Structure 1
């Protein structure tokens, strides 16, 4: 029991430490979107990048994507690029169907096992908000309120 408690404490410490890791660079992926277009993270430099990792079986993701869609509409033409990275579906047609059912417009990238591993996706939703230099500004495990998300977006937009 003592070993389990120590292990759990260590995992929680790592999650907190990573979530506050400023200046770290994320894995520079190249993924296809739901329309077959290739998206390379390194080409997004100069923008704040909002990545939300999700799965089709995640009820919290469904709620969160609908909410974050409000920020997508507000900031998509103001230097913020949003992507919802799905980790458990490869079919573009099914992804488009889910987007319609869940009522969100955020462009979807089709994740893979490498991205899942490199971004330490141990559950969903997980949000990465990247600064303009593509360093990690904030990682959120679980839900994020619109107010908090917008606070980070605005902070990172003001940075040079």
Structure 2
């Protein structure tokens, strides 16, 4: 039996690379285009479905990582509340951690609270590890099944969805980026 030659391996490698390129061109590009179109449609639908500024924020009570029951009503009693709907898989959520930590620290004395709601049904232990590994310094709500209901009430379709709520319960801003808080917190 003959030993395989280096050229034999190179030839197989070239065939595999060509097949991968063909597979990507034939299978993945149409899927990427379709997913991109669906994403644009979803954002368009959400623009119309999003909760509007000036409307009342849906009430909720969820469990924090330390096991306490936390209600939006109690959070609002302290001052403005920023809800951040997120998942551990969200790259943009990860990118905002530093800024959110800074905002929580800067405005804490004014009663401002950031409450992050993990709504992907992730296990509490996964969330704990993520919080610990990434140094999140704001309130984390992890009620696995209830979070999904809250996300639906807030018409969340993507992450991060960020909702700023006034102490009177009215929605101030709703979107996918961190709002300028200087307008709302003096």
Pairwise same-fold verdict (TM > 0.5): yes
In angstroms, what is the RMSD of aligned CA positions?
2.3
> Match of 1:122?
157
* TM-fit CA distance, 1:77: 1.9
**3-state SS of paired residue (1:51):** strand
> Match of 1:22?
53
Equivalent pair of 2:80/2:167 in contact (CA under 8 Å): yes
> Match of 2:28?
none
**3-state SS of paired residue (1:68):** helix
> Match of 1:113?
148
Equivalent pair of 2:86/2:116 in contact (CA under 8 Å): yes
Work out the CA distance in 2 between the residues paired with 1:51 and 1:11: 19
* TM-fit CA distance, 1:17: 7.4
> Match of 1:62?
94
Structure with the greater relative contact order (CA < 8 A, sep ≥ 6): 1 or 2?
Answer: 1
Equivalent pair of 1:66/1:102 in contact (CA under 8 Å): no
Q: Does 1:39 align with 2:74?
A: no
The normalised TM-score by structure 2 is: 0.68
Work out the CA distance in 1 between the residues paired with 2:46 and 2:150: 19
> Match of 1:157?
185
Deviates more, 1:67-76 or 1:109-118: 109-118
* TM-fit CA distance, 1:45: 2.8
> Match of 1:51?
83
Work out the CA distance in 2 between the residues paired with 1:10 and 1:126: 13
**3-state SS of paired residue (2:98):** helix
Which one has a larger percent helix, Structure 1 or Structure 2?
A: 2
The normalised TM-score by structure 1 is: 0.78
Q: Would you say how many aligned residue pairs link Structure 1 and Structure 2?
A: 143
Work out the CA distance in 2 between the residues paired with 1:133 and 1:110: 24
Gaps of 5+ in 1: none
Equivalent pair of 1:76/1:82 in contact (CA under 8 Å): no
**3-state SS of paired residue (2:74):** helix
> Match of 2:9?
none
Which one has a larger percent strand, Structure 1 or Structure 2?
A: 1
